[in-house]
Structure 1
């Protein structure tokens, strides 16, 4: 049998890819995966572990496997373990994984999992039944499909179904965990029918919409940045404490944090855009250089209530990226986008190298420009120098928008 148990942080084994035994605490502190996911178990006095009948370590979930489980081209038999805090999530993940392997020619075998009060045979690949009235399908899609036509459409989406007295009855494959409601069948019918065959129609309305004046200004600023050779990115407004504060040496004093976030990667509203751009660079370290990115998005602050303001941020990364290049780009953006002459004065900022940082104040446009500190680059696992600037363009956008009203 394979035993799921716990061990003290000083318990030692050879992690996957390692040569020497490390304690479980050392794995959390010293290995890349431990540093990334260690927070999940770090607060507990004992850590979860999977061992075989000989006491050999198979896995330290959810951190890393043992070296014993290394796969080679000669490997033919796989034991798949899914560890989760939610049973349904674990069963769904296992079903997707094993059916993908079966589709590649593998043979699925069952495992009995014994809990103190429950015994499960996994994987559970039983189908789910969904049904929906055909008239509802036709009403939502604007079609006049017959029962056999709808069944054929579902078959093209790899879903077995039958039509009986006005109702479509479908057998949902276990790996299709995205199908949760009868209305999801409508989308599968549409896909099987062919989205390109659907004729789009505009809803009848007496009012005619038009872009908001602020959107016109932001679009113009984007066109200026693209014309200067920058690539636009669009990040989520929520980010992690590590990216927004820890990596920059900032304290989350006035931070706006989501209550009970589903992920530590999305728990703080951004008050700066540059950290997100540095994350973009860190996920593209193997792409060609130079990399020149920009983003225009709302940032969020506490000023009694929560205030939203538009920011423009740019980052440049290559072997010779420096303050001079960033300032040159800044001057071009301010001149072409706002018709203003850039003025800077020396400043100090924890994000930038001392002596290679300046603040900007031109009319209602203000911000900061500089070379990113090596410690910050290291925190984001970046290998190339980087320079950046960020501008608060909120008032400039609002003022310019008044001319379009």
Structure 2
């Protein structure tokens, strides 16, 4: 515990942890102050992300960057999973799909591109394990194809009813979860010798003891999940005050804040010339959401949701996810990176963000409405048909 307290005293950024209890107090006293809760939640997530970053680096120092990146991606995605489960139970299926698609695109493009840029500004040329990056990019592309199929079949064949879409979604979900499990077996056991980290010349700070690092990871992840729930509850009302469209909020803002903890770890690793950790977090998180989180949510909708949820996404989201997967495959093919490669990847993300920000809100048309009443009400609430 002493290293943790010392880190908090010496790092001014961690002094912002005071906003965590302030946020929960404000939520209890005035739950309708959405703009205030939005600002406080952002201020609370920043120091929690920094703390999670330090703990993850300590674990990676003991286990290696590949396992460390996987662990950080898993704990980071736990936040998105908790948020999605809350929305799933409420029947807000379009919000669930927006958070899934937004997280995949943000992790693949923004987190990866910013890691390349920040690392490249400090180091002339950086290297990372090409085999690991290509595996994650391949898994992400496979998941994107699986998500594309229900939407493409439904659009092309009007005779494909909701029963067919739901059956296909469940079948694809089982396949994706199986592929995700086999991918872990391949990279962590049967062929683990191909996925070791590249050598690094820069020494980092002394890592925390493994027990303290793991305990901090678990505790901070729970706090991030709680703070993120407050953020999601307040962000829609706050968006009106700040002039942001609901599509931009759901696809960009929620994904950025929800992935703040992972981003802090990825950016810190890139600056310390540990690009294997950064690439592992970015692509590992995106592929985990697509291969595991999304299918699990589809299956859980039969248990905790008012109606079954399917894998049919709106066309705009599918196109963005497909482009993100292809971009990741292209830029990670060499196993080397420089700052300008990060700029190119970030430009793709900024094109998406600018389009969503400038897109005027409109009510969903009859042809783009979801197939069940629960999803229809959520669709109206969040206007995600703006992406069509």
Provide TM-score, normalisation by structure 2.
0.19
Choose between structure 1 and 2 for higher RCO, CA contacts under 8 A separated by at least 6 residues: 2
* Structure having the larger proportion of residues in helix: 2
Which one has the bigger strand percentage?
Answer: 1
TM-score (norm 1): 0.19
